[in-house]
Structure 1
Amino acid sequence: MIKREFLQDHKSLDFKFYQNVDDFIVEEVPIKFAGRGNFIIAKIKKQKLGTWDLIESLAKGLRIYDNELGYAGLKDKNATTTQYISIPKKYSKDLKQFRHNKIKILETTLHGSKLNIGDLIGNKFEINLHEVQAQDVGKIEKLLKQISKVGMPNYFGFQRFGYDGLENLEKARKYIYEDYQIKDRKISKMLVAAYQSDFFNKWLVERLKQSDDSFKAMDGDVFRDYREDKFFTPKNFTEIMQKDFEDKKIVPTGLLPGQKAFRSIKDARKIEEMFDDTYIKEKGYRRDAIVYPSDISVSFDKNTNKCKVKFTLPKASYATVLIENIANRNLKA
């Protein structure tokens, strides 16, 4: 597994980070719901349950198929998380009777369609860092402000690759290139996604080598327009485009190799093609190279040496990567 590198080259900060229900709190920032329609949107708080565990528990409790339920994103198991789940309106009576010791339905509204992956704006995080030195609190605050300005490299975090990351990547390689059988379609999709993500992370490390204090956009990059949410590749990278990038109107993207994904051109392609794989038959994607944390706050309890950091990240980005960026060290492989 490649070591995740960052734009800030400071001495590593020595603190402890734990993922548990007290120290890792996540709340989904939802899209705007219609307030009417054939689907109940339930705001649900859960502990020690992953999203798939939540879906399984809800389906069992409501006596329905799990594919009738919709969700916008996957949330960690070892955390206290709040997320939105869509349920067909016809099960409203059953939902009112639903009880589970790790699941609490906070509120409900209505919407016109089932929730799908990506139907969210982002996530709010509240994370406790332990054994923080008092002199490092100011450094943490300064780093977070700097990262919010220049952006955080949008790596896939260690969770993407599973507990046995290297072993999972090898299984994915055998599944793609050899006659390695995986009966569970969900597992095979997860392994291939991890394999694609590893290419992206390696590409991002290489691109950071071409950058200094901020990410360097290149001629031939595929950009995403934030407002239109569309990809485009300009014939030439101009000063106006550089200004748009600095003003956070557009962002360079990296490739998750696969079918039907845009490829970069020119100088950007020379780097990208080293981390491409046209043999992968699954759908490919592009992912923002950097993301910008917002709503940042830092507080410190000198009696416990515990530092609480709060921030919001766009969807599909990892809070653990931001913690790594602050610490300037990888938490796990």
Structure 2
Amino acid sequence: MDLIYRPERYPFLTQDLPGVGGEIRVEPEDFQVEEIPAYLPKGEGEHLYLFLEKEGRTTREVVEFLRDEVGVPEKEIGVAGLKDKHARTRQWLSLPRRYEDALCLLENLKGVRLLEAHLHPHKLRTGHLKGNRFRVLIRNPKGGLPEAEAVLRRLAEKGVPNYYGPQRFGLGGLNPVRGYRLVKEGKGRGTPWLKRFLIGSLQSLLFNDWVALRLERGLYDRVVPGDWAKKHDTGGEFLVEDPKEAERALRLEISATGPLFGKKYPEAQGEARALEDEVLAQYDLRREEFRARKGARRPVRVPLKEWQVEEAKEGLWLSFSLPKGSYATSLLREVMKKEVDTPKEAEEEA
């Protein structure tokens, strides 16, 4: 029973296609991320939306600066998603309008630049984004443009495996082990937030195992009766009862969703439930042991949009867009055919 996150145990969708190798994140500007907002500020209201560019800073560090140096209560600071430290990122934050005159203090935060500021009636909430645009440089590749394009073309056709990235599992991939102890024993050291995070890491490991199982069984781009499927255009979920829904899955209109086990989430039935039970049984786990967590479902794959590859003297530049909650690392490992991004001080790409 191996509860340590080991990315090599998760199969590639494009195993038959060669990778380009190489390195990423040699310099922060090699990895660029820009939020795709769910909406833009209206230009009026009591909340100030800030569009920030940062390099060498986590989102958390910016929030702490606004709290400690500008004096904004943390609960009044709005963030849609977390962005990596070892990258050049652009994202929206919000704070009450009454702190507008103190924004000049942001000049004191090295690595952060204010690009835009607009008013809006409501605070920015977690998850209020459509996704992220990425521009990533692969330095010293062994393969070139044709190899990268072949992989990306397959991913655009079939969808990107929605594995959780290494950021989710902590140094050495050990967080699921600690989460397992909490689930089995119901106690452990740490704050309530830390305990939730560790159990969440275990949930993520089980989900990754489920994705791998669907790939190995030829069910990655299929749905079976009893699956809960997600509609990629609207985000709606429904229980699969009609075998003809398999045709929509092949067109990447819908995808099967896997469980993040908890006390309240749509439960699969029949053949689809048996696959989930198989993953749980590997670790002697039961659904009811996750009652401390809310629970949810997550699609087995996500659509790839706006992809492009450019050759440059530094290497290969990849540009692409992914929906919120998915990981660029899942795409990059397919293109490079190697494991990327061991946890340092990264945050999750949300």
Q: Tell me the TM-score normalised to structure 2 length.
A: 0.87
Alignment of 1:49-64 (within 5 A): 49-64=57-72
Deviation at 1:64, TM superposition (A): 2.1
1:68 aligns with 2:79: no
Give 1:79 deviation, angstroms.
Answer: 0.9
| 1:28 counterpart residue number | 35
Structure 2 residue aligned with 1:218: 224
- Describe the shift of the 1:296–1:12 C-alpha distance in structure 2 as closer, same or farther (beyond 3 A): closer
Aligned to 1:298: 309
Deviates more, 1:39-48 or 1:1-10: 1-10
Q: Report deviation, 1:20.
A: 4.1
Query: Which of 111, 132, 138 pairs up with 1:123?
Result: 132
Contact 2:222 2:250 in 1 (8 A): no
Q: Deviations over 1:2-35 (max 9, x none)?
A: 5221221234443222364121111111111241
Aligned to 1:18: 25
Q: Distance in 2 between matches of 1:38 and 1:246?
A: 46
1:164 aligns with 2:188: no
SS at match of 1:149: helix
Q: How many residues align?
A: 326
Which residue in the other structure is 1:236 paired with?
242
| 1:73 shift after superposition | 0.9
Query: Is 2:296 aligned against 1:282?
Result: no
Which range moved further: 286-295 or 272-281? 272-281
Specify the SS of the correspondent of 2:247: helix
Deviation at 1:278, TM superposition (A): 2.4
User: Could you tell me which amino acid in structure 2 is paired with residue 144 of structure 1?
Assistant: L
Q: Distance in 2 between matches of 1:123 and 1:62?
A: 28
1:129 is paired with a residue whose SS is strand
Question: In 1, Cα distance between the equivalents of 2:117 and 2:192?
Answer: 32
User: 1: distance between equivalents of 2:146 and 2:77?
Assistant: 44
C-alpha RMSD of the superposition: 2.0
Q: Which amino acid aligns with 1:309?
A: L
| Contact 1:16–1:130 (8 Å) recurs in 2 | yes
Deviation at 1:227, TM superposition (A): 4.0
Sequence identity (%) = 27
Look up the SS of the partner of 2:257 in the other structure. Answer: strand
The question of whether the paired residues in 2 share the 8 Å contact of 1:226 and 1:249 is answered with yes
- Aligned match of 1:136 in 108, 131, 144? 144
CA distance in 1, matches of 2:21, 2:235: 38
Corresponding residue SS for 1:267: helix
Contact kept, 8 Å, 2:207 with 2:258, in 1: the verdict is: yes
Q: Using a 3 Å threshold, how does the CA distance of structure 1 residues 216 and 6 change in structure 2: closer, same or farther?
A: farther
Distance 1:237 1:20, change over 3 A: farther
Q: Is the 8 A contact 1:220 1:236 kept in 2?
A: no
Question: What CA distance in whole angstroms lies between the structure 1 residues aligned with 2:293 and 2:187?
Answer: 16
Structure 1 CA distance for aligned equivalents of residues 288 and 186 of structure 2: 18
2:14 aligns with 8
Deviation at residue 165 of structure 1 after TM alignment: 1.4
Using structure 1 for the length normalisation, give the TM-score: 0.91
C-alpha separation in 2, matches of 1:89 and 1:242? 50
Task: Pick closer, same or farther for the CA change 1:19–1:251 going to 2, 3 Å.
Answer: farther
Report the Cα distance in structure 2 between the residues aligned to 1:298 and 1:321, rounded to whole angstroms.
Answer: 17
Gapped runs of 5+ residues in structure 2?
281-286, 343-350
Shift of 1:176: 2.3
